[in-house]
Amino acid sequence: MTPLLPLHELVAAAHSPFHADGSPAPEVVPTQAAFLAANGIRTVFITGSTGESHSLTCDERLALYDAWAAAAPAHGLSVIGHVGSNCLEDSKILARRAQDLGFTAISALAPSYFKPASLSALIDTCAAIAAAAPATPFYYYDIPVLTGVAFPMEKFLAEAPSRIPNLAGIKFTNPDLVSYRCSLDVAGEKLDLPWGVDEMLVAALATGARGGVGSTYNWCPQLYFDLIAAFHRGDLAEARRLQSVSIAMIDAIAATGFLGTAKALMARLGVPVGPARLPLGNPTDQQVDDLLGKLDAIGFSAWGARVPQLAAR
């Protein structure tokens, strides 16, 4: 796979596909890959938060790695493998497989049960994972709302490079724009900080973002391509309008549980990624029908991928 670093683009955080009974469905990955590539995506981030990483066994994640490694090249996609886990040894196994498969990069969020008690401990943890795949760029995945681990990322970037030789940057899923700006100042052109809060993309672009990793890029990438284009041509009113559309769509999906409902939406678009696993919930068919009506009223038909298939079940 051709490396696309730095990630100055939209990266889709892919869903992990399951059968109706919750068992893994890696055979769906080629359909996902074809769908995303057809809608302008060039890089996928797999088995992350959107991919329900903490609800997957290590073996299940490895099977998805293998499936994406087989499917992605045929569609011109590069793959970033999320390798974070509460078990550091599992993270190392995943990192080694990702490197063996030629993934573009790996990424890891912080352990969230036994949490690193200091910034130094967090860097040590990341260094141990990154060392298992020394030839593969490593991104720390900062998502404090889910991990409960919150350290100043600008300090991480100042200290980590000397201890993590293959550090590429941070997947910054943290709404703290002050910390993001400070982190960009430290990173300069040496490190990459793709943004990870889809609802705040305009604000991140204004702060200095040049790319993003997000779940909504699965089902509505054109909205964000248009938003970015409007921002760069100086049409801030249009960029803000499109961000408001994004927020309204995300709120509509989140009303019945964001991840399960987003997966149901993908199924209506022809990509049968199945339900979300417990402890997450899933919407009823009627709730999905109602959602499609709400999305149409918001304007989904203008930007949603493969809209003519929305009515099919």
**Which tokens in the block code for residue 239?**
């960029």
Query: Does residue 52 lie within any of the structural domains?
Result: yes
Q: Three-state secondary structure along 190-206? A: CCECCECCHHHHHHHHH
CA-CA distance, 169 to 189, in Å (whole number)?
10
Beta bridge pairs of residue 43: 11, 78
Confidence band (pLDDT; 50, 70, 90) for 260?
very high
| Displacement of CA 179 from its chain's centroid (Å) | 20
Q: State the Cα–Cα distance between residues 248 and 254, nearest whole angstrom.
A: 10
- Closest C-alpha to 305, from 271, 275, 261, 258: 271
In a domain, 245, yes or no: no
The answer to the question of residue 226 being in a domain is yes
Mean of the pLDDT values across residues 232-241?
Answer: 98
Which of 141, 180, 217, 224 is labelled catalytic? 141
Residues facing 109 on adjacent strands: 141
- For 144, residues 6+ apart whose C-beta sits below 8 A from its C-beta are 150, 174
Answer whether residue 276 is part of any domain: no
Dist. CA 149–CA 138, nearest whole Å: 18
Which residue is catalytic, options 65, 139, 140, 171? 171
Task: State mean pLDDT over 106-121.
Answer: 97
Strand ranges for the chain from DSSP E: 10-13, 43-46, 78-82, 105-109, 138-142, 167-172, 212-214
User: Is 295 inside a domain boundary?
Assistant: no
Residue 27, domain CATH: 3.20.20.70
How long, in residues, is the chain?
A: 313
Q: Kindly state whether residue 105 falls inside one of the protein's structural domains.
A: yes
Q: CB–CB of 29/61 below 8 Å?
A: no
Mean of per-residue pLDDT scores for the chain? 94
Count structural domains, the chain.
1
Tokens 């809209």 belong to residue: 307
Whether residue 205 is contained in a domain is answered as: yes
Give CA–CA dist 313/309, Å, rounded: 9
**Tokens linked to 80:** 């970033």
Q: Examine residue 246 and state whether it is found in any structural domain, yes or no.
A: no
Give yes or no for a contact between 91 and 112, defined as CB atoms under 8 angstroms apart.
no
How far is the C-alpha of 136 from the C-alpha of 304, rounded, in Å?
34
- Annotated active-site residue 141? The verdict is yes
Reported as a pLDDT band with limits 50, 70 and 90, residue 308 is very low
pLDDT digits (tens, 9 = 90+) for 37-90: 999 999 999 999 999 999 999 999 999 999 999 999 999 999 999 999 999 999
Q: What is the pLDDT of residue 310?
A: 35
Q: pLDDT tens across 274-305, in order?
A: 999 999 999 999 999 999 999 999 988 877 76
Per DSSP bridges, beta strands 10-13 and 43-46 are parallel
In the prediction, which pLDDT does 115 show?
Answer: 97
Cα torsion angle, 23, 142, 124, 165, sign: positive
What is the extent of the structural domain holding 60?
Answer: 10-235
139 in active site: no
